[in-house]
Each structure stands twice: as C-alpha cells, then as structure tokens.
Structure 1
Amino acid sequence: MINLSEVHNILDYLDEIVFLLENVTVIYANKKAKEYFGDCEGYNIFDLLVFEKGSLLVEAMHTEKSVSSVNDDAIITFEDRIFSNRRGGWLYFKISYIKKNSLLILRDISEERNLQEVKLNISSLIAHELKNPIGVLLSHISELLEDEDDEENIKQFLKIEKQALRLNRIVEQIEYITMAQLGLYTPKNVSINIRKMVDSVLDDIAGLIELRRAKVEKHINIDYLDADDFILRTILKNLLSNAVKYSFDNSKVILKITSEYISVRDFGVGIPDEEIPKIFNRFYRTSTGVKMASGSGLGLAVVKHLANIANYKIEVKSQHMIGTEFIVYFRKE
C-alpha cells in the first residue's frame, strides 16, 4: 500500500504544479509549485497566487457549475494568467480544480499561447502589409479604367484588376485561416450566390485545370446558400484543386451542389483503403499522391478543421487508381 510520503515523491516528478488545499490554505505543494512560487505551504492560495481573473477560481471552489467544464468527477477546468516572480512575469496556465479532493493543478501553457500569438501577429502583419498596396493598386486601376478609351488597353487593365482581386482574396484567406487555426474565427452566415462563387473558385485554379487538361462538370441545383463565405469558398477551392491535381490528364471532375451537400468527384489515382483514415492529418500525403503532384499535405486538414467549425460532416469514398469522391454535408446528422 502506497503511503503519503511516496505519493508526495511521485507528485514531485510531475511537470504540473500541484496544490492540496484545506479550505483556501495550502497544506501541500509539489516541487514544481515551489519552482514557480517559492515556499507555498501554510499560505492562503489567494495571497500566494496573483491571478488575472481570481474570480474564476473563487467560482470554481464555491459552485457546482464550472466556468468551463465539469466532468463526472467534478474536475473544473479553466484558463487564467498568474504572476510568477521566479519566472519573471505573467504566465498562462490551464487550471484544474478537483472539488472532491481540494486539489488544484496548474499546467504552464505560456509557450503554446505565446507561439499562437506570434503566428497570429505574423499572419496579421503579412495580411496588413499586403492589403494596403493591393488596395492602392485597385484604386489606380479603377481610375485608369475611367479615363481609358482604347478597347485593348481596357482589356489589359481588366486582366490586371482580376489578378489583383484574386491576390486580395488570397491575403484574406491567409488571415482567416490563421484565425480559424487559433480558434479565433466565428462563422458569419450570409446569402451566397453559389454559381458566382463556383466560377470564381474555378477561375482561381484555372492554371491547374489547364495543366491537367481537365474538364469540370457542374451540376448545381440551387442559386443561393446561407453559409460562411470564407469557409465555403476555402472548402470548395481545396477539394476542387485536389480533385484536379490528382486526376489523370484529360480526365474530368464532377461537382454537385444541392441545398444539403457539396460533392466533388474525380477519376484519378484514388486513395488506398488503409490510408483513408489518415488523409485529414496535418502534413499527411498518400503514397500515390506524393508521386502524382507536389503539395504541403495541409489542404484536407484545413477542410476538416473548417468543416468542424461550421458543423459540417465530411464523407470520403475512394477506390485506388479509380477515383475519389468527397461529400460535405451542410449539417451533421
């Protein structure tokens, strides 16, 4: 039978900070706790720890309802910043309070949070720095079009405007995808002109379609759909570009859109059965896909992530060397 001393020795090996409380007084703190906050035992937990939002712990200790989540064992979890003199400032922690045992467990997530902020700041900076010159470019093109009478020049200006608008969409997608990956994107449903969106997406991947000499058959039986423009466009673009990319030359891709789902079917290399469960993993590329075309292995991971945000369901049907169909249902069953 393990005695209390042995339990304490085990807790000293944990990477998490552990406090055992009696009411609000610390009666035990493991080694990691002392590394962050010095001597702990005998102190009031609210005197020992300087919380950014101390009310979260108070609420956790005095209510049956969690500020974040409660499981069957009454483990209450939330996040807060706590000041640590020994670590030189404010740190982010994931905090768990086990009511039954008066146990407070802190996991330092500062590195994860700081990395997220850096990623967001870099992407936002890139987007911001590109948006301004693109906006200026579009403004100048508009002025040139107003003053131009020569038909050939007008055609050239329209081509430039078209590519500038395409670049602007890409910049916006970088910004939105970063926000989505960091859990900061909230879907905003609007009425979308489906045929116009499809034509826009196909225009974006026109170079790829031309390279494969592919034909995209469109079967669209709705004119408008209520959805988030960024999420729907990104899912549609990734699925269509993948379908064309992994098709054989002179093949076709069939796109179907109804009020209930999007279906993208190709007649390309397909996916081996044993690899289908892995295709939505970040950076994963199938054995046949690697040989067929270049890529990052992020496209389907982004599709899956955005589908989860929008509460969509994805179904995959594939036969190796025959073809693949992705079906995105707009509502999970």
Structure 2
Amino acid sequence: MCQIKKKIIMNNDSVIFNIFDTLDDGIVLLSNKTSISKANLKAKDWGITENKDLLSCISFNKIDQLTECILSEKDYDTEDIIYFIKGFSKFCKIIYKNEYKLLLFRDKTQFELLKKVKEDFVSSVSHELRTPLTVAKGNVQLLHDFMKNEEFIPQINKIQESLDKIEDIISKLTLLSIAEFGDYVLKKEIIYINNLYKEVLKDLEDKIKEKEIELDFRSCLEIKEGDKFVLYTILKNLISNAIKYSFNNSKIYIQFDEQMIEVKDEGIGIRQEEIPRIFERFYRSPEAIKYAKGSGLGLAVVKYLCNLSNYRIECESKWMVGTTFRIMFKDE
C-alpha cells in the first residue's frame, strides 16, 4: 500500500513538473534542506542541476538570508542579481515557499532594463528642456518689462502662461518618474501643519484671488510626522484642482486631522462614469477640458505619492454640485 501511494505521489510530481516546464520562471523543488530534487526546463537552462546542492548552482548577495530561511523553514521573498553556474547573471524575483519546498526565480532583467531606459529618457528630456525653457522665460520677462506698446502685452502674457504650463508639465513628469521607479526615499520629519498650509496658500495666491475663492481651513493637529515634500505636493495639487474646477466666488473646505486630509469644493464635479479614470496620466474629461486648462497630471502625481506613502485616496463627486477628495493616513 505504501509503495502504491509513493508511486502516485511520484506520478503527480511528474505531471506538475510537465506543467512547470512550460513556464518562463525557473522552478526548483528542494529536499534535505538545500539539495535540488527537481528543476524545470527553464531552471536547467540556467544551470540549476538536479541532485546537486543549490549553493553550488547559484550565488547572489543575499544568499545567506535565503539559506537561513530554508534551514529554519521560513518563507522568503526578495529581488536581486543572481549569478548562475553557466557564467551569466539575471535580475530575478526570488520566492521560497517552505510549505512546498519550492523555489521560484522570475527573470525581471528586461523589465529592469526597460525601466532604466525609461527613467533615463525622462531625466534627459527634462534636463534638456529646462535650459531653453529658462532662456525663453527670461526673454519673455524682458519683453514684458521693456515693451512700450501696450497693445502687445496680452500676447506676451499668453506666451508666459504657455511657458509656465510647459514647466509645470516637465516638473510633474519628473516627479512621476521618481515616484514610479522608486527613486524617492521617504523622509521622517516633524511637519507644522499651519506652516505647511500657509506655504501652499502662498503658491496658489494668484489663482485664489483670480476666482475670488474663499478657503475654510480647519486642523486639530499642530504637528504631524511624515515627509513634508509629499504632504505639501498632495495638499497643493488637491487645492489647486479644487480652485480650477470651482465657480467664481465659491468656497473650498480643507480639513487636516490625524486620520486624513479632506479637500471639498462646490465646483462642477465629476460624472460618475469618469471617476475611475481621473488618476490616469493626461486624462481629462470632456467637461474638464471645456471648463479649465490643465495637463491632466495633478491627480496622477497625488495617486503615486499616496501609493509611495501607504496612504489611501478616496473621491466622492456629484455633477454640478462639487467634489471631495480624502487622503486617508494608514498606520506608518
């Protein structure tokens, strides 16, 4: 009976590994701690050989941590450059599941290369555009200061607005790339909430005056620990967005407490079918395009920074009634 049961188990293993052989991931089954009992075709292509010790087939910087988890019967998960016995290396996602004694190597080399190319491209484009943009803005300012014919001042102002918009897009794309590629390291610092709000208010002063918006700011917090740049950028983008889509002489309500930031406006609102798309880069609803100028990047930036900081963002809106955004703080 035991021999029949053993044979069934062996047959099942063969069936499973026939399936594993079709995968692009390297799959390894271990026995006697780090001894390789089974390896699928992909793992064998990489030089992982059955009936050999795992440590003789691969090497990477954190291999001691993996070995310790295998010996102490714990799961393991990391990403690192793996050096294989065949003399090549790959950037892999490494997962060890102790329950099944299964080790998975997911090749992410191409993904990392594409990510690096994309990151370098955004960085290069941003750098190359900023220099001529600065020169153009400087010359426009000179024209504005020395132009004697008042007839052309509106055109100069329009050029200035367009250059400011380009600069804003470049800044937001750069910020998005930093957040997306994980290059930004969160800081822990003491933030004085009222001072933070005043800084945002100062930056948005012209927009507030232009539409004669009244801001109702309430905070029961004096200080909060977090990343000042992240909170400043989130708050500024949400209030700027609220101003943009508010009616003249309307009111915006801002609440900042231990659980959340809430920004509520009495503006044009968002149609329900549009809400799932508002965090997409460059997405702007047909009504938003008609009502106000914008790049469609502000909310994408907010979403990325929330993901980075482990915050949750919520949106409630009624068409032609108003919109409420909430940033919910999780335990950090």
TM-score normalized by the length of structure 2: 0.69
The answer to whether the aligner puts 1:27 opposite 2:37 as a matched pair is yes
CA contact under 8 A between 2:216 and 2:251: conserved in structure 1?
A: no
- Distance in 1 (alpha carbons) for counterparts of 2:85 and 2:64: 21
The answer to whether the aligner puts 1:12 opposite 2:16 as a matched pair is no
- Distance in 2 (alpha carbons) for counterparts of 1:76 and 1:30: 20
Q: CA RMSD in A?
A: 4.4
Aligned to 2:252: 254
Aligned to 2:184: 185
Aligned to 2:5: none
Aligned to 2:202: 199
- Distance in 1 (alpha carbons) for counterparts of 2:113 and 2:222: 41
User: Structure 1 residue 109: deviation in Å?
Assistant: 1.4
Aligned to 1:56: 65
- Distance in 1 (alpha carbons) for counterparts of 2:283 and 2:320: 16
- Distance in 1 (alpha carbons) for counterparts of 2:123 and 2:243: 31
Could you give the per-residue CA deviations for residues 181-215 of structure 1, whole angstroms, max 9, x where no partner exists? 22332333344442232221354xx4xx89xx744
- Distance in 2 (alpha carbons) for counterparts of 1:306 and 1:82: 31
Aligned to 2:77: 77
User: Structure 1 residue 13: deviation in Å?
Assistant: 1.5
Indicate the larger mover: 165-174 or 303-312.
Answer: 165-174
CA contact under 8 A between 2:279 and 2:303: conserved in structure 1?
A: no
User: Structure 1 residue 84: deviation in Å?
Assistant: 4.6
- Distance in 1 (alpha carbons) for counterparts of 2:223 and 2:170: 24
Indicate the larger mover: 194-203 or 165-174.
Answer: 165-174
Aligned to 2:106: 107
Aligned length: 300
Q: Secondary structure at 1:105's aligned position in 2?
A: strand
Q: Secondary structure at 2:216's aligned position in 1?
A: strand
The answer to whether the aligner puts 1:293 opposite 2:289 as a matched pair is yes
CA contact under 8 A between 2:77 and 2:94: conserved in structure 1?
A: yes
CA contact under 8 A between 2:216 and 2:254: conserved in structure 1?
A: yes
- Distance in 2 (alpha carbons) for counterparts of 1:215 and 1:81: 56
Q: Secondary structure at 2:50's aligned position in 1?
A: coil
In the superposition, relative to structure 1, how do residues 115 and 77 fare at CA in structure 2: closer, same or farther (>3 Å)? same
CA contact under 8 A between 2:176 and 2:304: conserved in structure 1?
A: no
Q: Secondary structure at 2:66's aligned position in 1?
A: helix
- Distance in 1 (alpha carbons) for counterparts of 2:72 and 2:163: 55
Indicate the larger mover: 39-48 or 216-225.
Answer: 216-225
In the superposition, relative to structure 1, how do residues 197 and 114 fare at CA in structure 2: closer, same or farther (>3 Å)? same
Aligned to 1:216: 213
In structure 2, the gaps of 5 or more residues are 1-7, 140-144, 147-156
Could you give the per-residue CA deviations for residues 231-258 of structure 1, whole angstroms, max 9, x where no partner exists? 23322343234334445x6473514244
Aligned to 1:268: 268
- Distance in 2 (alpha carbons) for counterparts of 1:291 and 1:165: 23
In the superposition, relative to structure 1, how do residues 126 and 63 fare at CA in structure 2: closer, same or farther (>3 Å)? farther
- Distance in 2 (alpha carbons) for counterparts of 1:299 and 1:166: 12
Q: Secondary structure at 1:100's aligned position in 2?
A: coil
CA contact under 8 A between 2:169 and 2:297: conserved in structure 1?
A: no
- Distance in 2 (alpha carbons) for counterparts of 1:202 and 1:228: 23
The one-letter code of the counterpart of 2:64 is: S
- Distance in 1 (alpha carbons) for counterparts of 2:164 and 2:299: 25
In the superposition, relative to structure 1, how do residues 168 and 85 fare at CA in structure 2: closer, same or farther (>3 Å)? farther
The one-letter code of the counterpart of 1:196 is: E
- Distance in 1 (alpha carbons) for counterparts of 2:28 and 2:230: 43
In the superposition, relative to structure 1, how do residues 193 and 18 fare at CA in structure 2: closer, same or farther (>3 Å)? closer
- Distance in 2 (alpha carbons) for counterparts of 1:52 and 1:311: 28
The percent of aligned pairs where both chains have the same amino acid is 32
The one-letter code of the counterpart of 1:219 is: D
CA contact under 8 A between 1:312 and 1:332: conserved in structure 2?
A: no
